[in-house]
Structures are given as structure tokens and as C-alpha cells.
Amino acid sequence: MVRYVSRRVFYAIITLLLVSATVYLIFSLLPFDPAALTCGQHCTKFVIEANRHRLGFDQPLYMQYLHFLQGIFVGRDYGSGSAAFHCPAPAFGYSFNENRCVTEMLGQALPITISLALGALVLWLVVGVGLGIVAARFRNRWPDTLSSIFVLFGISLPVFVSGLFLLIWMTIKWHIIPLNLSGYVSLFRDPYGFFLYFILPWITLAFNFAAIYTRYTRSTILETQSEDYIRTARAKGISDRKILVKHTLRALIAPIATMASLDFATLIGGAILTESIYNLPGLGRLSISSVFEFDLPVLVATTLVSAAVVIVMNLIVDLLYAVLDPRVRI
């Protein structure tokens, strides 16, 4: 087990380094001058060259990348003398558009996106897996029919349609869920305000995933029930409930855990539509605004954070699989 974990962690570190180098290289080869983007329209050549030296863009590309990696671990100083400023670790750069370190901007956006993704993950697992179990348990009966209708709507409706529907009808028309205009609050400071702020985005984001998990859970359970060991257990007189809990669901845990981990990692950088509909200042909206404003340090940082989350979640999936199924350690 130790060798397996060590090998997976080593592969994850190498992958992170390769991804960071590739992302940094791609953004460094874009057809515009990053130093010219650090000042306004009336910027002079002297100011551009000063910013180029201050940010280290006048150095070779490999030195820029090494300084970038160094800043992630120990922080980084930009400029010299009275004009110098420091970004603490992990330093992903400095945004001249916002006049702030990129780490500070990520620190404000990342908790919102993680809260959104975690809440939606719990919701779609409870609803999706639960409905899938009920649909398989009552196959070809009215619960199965209702779950099929739910799956059809959940998969066919785009996120922006379901989000706007919930926002208009649940909040504006029916006043079931009040509109929270106070902004993001921490779960530990105000649990009710936190829940009120995220309830509609959670439902919007989880609706499509819950439909997918319902269909997958139902098909997996029905496929597992046709296996020989399930038939043997049924022939021994074991009740259907015990067979479902002890045998069928056990075969479902590993693939569901894999899907949920990877879907969660995707949401960290991909919940752009939901954040835009509900005006959530998360990582997705930060990425979009950095594209429109040509804010390269922020764009590089958001891309790297999203890629790092995917790699780390893949590592967690591999380790989780080794616990659930010892055969993969070989």
C-alpha cells in the first residue's frame, strides 16, 4: 500500500509540474506584450519598460518560470527600492488591473466556488443515488416512471434555463425563497445567511448531475442484480433489502465515488454559468473577467488552480479506489 501511495503521489507531482510549465508556456507565447497590458491606453514606452523590468518579463522564459515556481512556495518581490511590493506565498503574480496580488483575489473567489461545488455535490448525490435506488427497486412501476421523467428534464434542460426558472418563479413570483442581496457570508458566521445565499445555486447546479446519477445508479443496480452471486444470495432466501444493502450497493460505491470526485473537480473551474446567473463572485466569473480584461496573471492563476484541483482529485480517487478495491494495488 505504501508503494502504491508513493507512486501515485510522485506521478501527481510530476503531472502538476508539467501542467504548470505547459500553461505558463502557452500564455507566454500569446501574440501581445504582457508588459503593455499592465498600464492604460496613455502608457509611454518608459512606463512599459519599467513594468517589464519590475515584473521580470525582461528575463529569459525559463528564468521567469523558475521565479514563478519560487513565488508559489516562498512569495515574491516585484520591483526594487521604494517602488517594490511583496506578494506572500503562494504568489501567482500581481494584477495591475485590480492593483492587488492574485493570491488575494483567489482567496476571495475560491471559498465561494468550493462552497457552491460542495453543496451541489451533496445534493446531487443524495437525490441522484436515492432516486436511482428507488427506481431500480420498483422497476417498471410508478416510481420508476417518475424518475425517468426527472432524468429526461434534468438532462435536457440547460443550466441557464433551470437557473432562470428558479430565480424568476421561486424568488420573484412565488416568494418561496427570499432573494439574498447581502452577499456572501461564511458558514461559521451566519449559517442561515450562508444557506439562503447558496440554496438556489445548489439546486441549479445539482439538477443536471442528479439526473445523470439517477440514470447511472438505476442501470448499475439492475446490471448487478443479474450477476450470479446475487442470484445465489436470492436462492438462499436472503431478503431483497439485505441483498441491496450488502451486495448491490457495495458494487456501486467505487464508480460513484470516482464520478463524484471528478465531477467536483470539474465544477471548481467550470461553474461559470451558475455563478453568472446568481452573480456569485467565484472562480469561474474571475476567469471570465480576466479574459475580457486581458489580465494574464489572474488567467494563468485560475487555470493552474483548476488544473491542480483536477489532478489532486484524481489522486484522491486513485487512493480511494485502492481502499475500496484492493485489487488495483497490484
Residues facing residue 78 across a β-bridge: 85
Q: Which of 22-26, 37-41, 198-202, 203-207 has the lowest mean pLDDT?
A: 37-41
Q: What is the pLDDT of residue 202?
A: 93
pLDDT digits (tens, 9 = 90+) for 106-149: 988 989 999 999 999 999 999 999 999 999 888 889 989 999 99
Q: How confident is the model over 77-91, as a mean pLDDT?
A: 76
Helix (H), strand (E) at residue 150: helix 142-156
Q: How confident is the model over 193-204, as a mean pLDDT?
A: 90
Those residues with Cβ within 8 angstroms of residue 20's Cβ, 6 or more apart along the chain or in another chain = 69, 304, 307
pLDDT above 70 covers what percent of the chain?
94
Bridge-based pairing of strands 94-95 and 100-101 is antiparallel
pLDDT of 150 > 90? The answer is: yes
pLDDT digits (tens, 9 = 90+) for 237-247: 888 788 887 77
Cβ proximity of 85 and 71 under 8 Å: no
User: pTM here?
Assistant: 0.85
Q: What is the pLDDT of residue 57?
A: 79
pLDDT of 21 > 80? The answer is: yes
Q: What is the pLDDT of residue 300?
A: 86
DSSP 8-class letter at 29:
T
Cell of 161: 434555463
What are the chain's domains? 2-102 (no CATH), 105-329 (1.10.3720.10)
The band of 81, judged by pLDDT with boundaries at 50, 70 and 90, is: low
